[in-house]
Amino acid sequence: MPGAADIEIPSSRPSVGRFAPSPTGPLHFGSLVAAIGSFLHVRKKGGQWLVRMEDVDKPREMPGAADSILRTLDRFGLEWDGAVLYQSRRTASYEQALHMLQEKGFVYGCTCTRKEIAERAHMGLDGPVYPGTCRVKKDGHQSERAWRFIVPAQSVCFADELLGEHCFNMAADMGDFVVRRADGLFAYQLAVVVDDAAQGVTEVVRGADLLLSTPRQLVLQQALGLATPTYLHLPLALNADGEKLSKQTLAPSVAQADVSALWIQVLQFLGQAVPRELEHAPMAELRAWALANWLPENIPRHAARVVVQL
Ligand code: GLU
Ligand code: ZN
């Protein structure tokens, strides 16, 4: 089971980064930050930048959003390597991973309802901590059930490239988490781990809202015998009310926005000192400057409010 080891990537391994949007709506400023941040971070090293469409949760998908996201990336000069990987076509690989977890005893079936969990669970770092009710109750007959991963008793640590060392007591603060939902859909945590490995991803750069997902992904990687990439969590962009920019908080789409103006705003949000003379430069020039001058150490460590000028 996972210990507290930090993972070192041998320098001979070519860098592979990725941007993994969920097509629940068009790109907004926050997702553009993740796209540009992950792009610059890996391309600066001469690595590959992949795009993966995280459409595993079909009921939450917005029709047309996947294509809109790809067109927007294209408009912003974010050219990806290889073909886009669609999670909706990856079910067989997720099945295989779940099967392996079942064989090795890392998961158990859970028949608890939301209500039952809410009654017994205490609040953790990221929602209610599942109290482990079904860990012991071997209910082999119920077919309508979720599959939960047994989190380790000892703490799980990793060194974020920007935020430094983080340790989590998963048992107390998160609980056994779902890898396959009762409705049969695979959970984000499992799909991400299987796909990051399948795509040879060596560095994950994404928003800090996913920091709490990282220990879950580390323990899954260890259970499945997969390599662990490095992680860098970018600061979250907040709206004027201090809420995370998202579809729920009605963050405006950047699909039609002025590309150069948005590039500059994203670079400034990421702490990059864009020279004044580039203020009206075309996108390709901004991108070239950003690639040549990318300084990840200047990225702010904290979430910040942004008033996005579209
Ligand atoms: N699909 C996730 C999201 O849009 C991101 C997954 C990741 O970068 O690991 O929030
Ligand atoms: Zn249960």
Confidence check: pLDDT of 64 > 70 = yes
Mutate to test the pocket of ligand 1, among 22, 36, 186 (most ligand atoms within 8 A of CB): 22
pLDDT, tens only, 12-21: 678 999 999 9
**Mean pLDDT of all residues in the chain?**
93
Of 25-39, 68-82, 120-134, the range with the lowest mean pLDDT is 120-134
CB-based pocket (< 6 A), ligand 1: 20-22, 54, 192, 206, 210
Q: How confident is the model at residue 1 (pLDDT cuts 50, 70, 90)?
A: very low
Q: Quick check: 9 pLDDT over 70?
A: no
pLDDT, tens digit, 9 for 90 and up, residues 154-212 = 999 999 999 999 999 999 999 999 999 999 999 999 999 999 999 999 999 999 999 99
Closest of 133, 145, 140 to residue 182, by C-alpha: 145
pTM score above 0.75: yes
Across 1-10, 128-137, 164-173, which has the greatest mean pLDDT? 164-173
% of the chain with per-residue pLDDT over 90 = 83
305 C-alpha to ligand 1 centroid (Å): 21
The pLDDT assigned to 210 comes to 97
Burial class of 113 by CB neighbour count within 10 A (0 to 12, 13 to 18, 19+): exposed
Q: State the average pLDDT over residues 250-266.
A: 94
Residue 144: pLDDT band (50, 70, 90) is: low
* Mean pLDDT, residues 202-227: 98
Question: Over 60: is that where the pLDDT of 57 sits?
Answer: yes
- Please provide the distance, in angstroms rounded to a whole number, between the alpha carbons at the two ends of the chain: 48
Report the Cα 102 to chain-centroid distance in Å. 25
Is a pLDDT exceeding 80 seen at residue 2? no
Please, what are the domains in the chain? Answer: 16-92+191-307 (3.40.50.620), 105-180 (3.90.800.10)
Q: How far is the CA of 209 from the centre of ligand 1 (A)?
A: 9
> Residue 20 C-alpha to ligand 1 middle, in angstroms?
5
Query: What does the DSSP assignment read for 70-105?
Result: HHHHHHTT-PPSSPPEEGGG-HHHHHHHHHHHHHTT
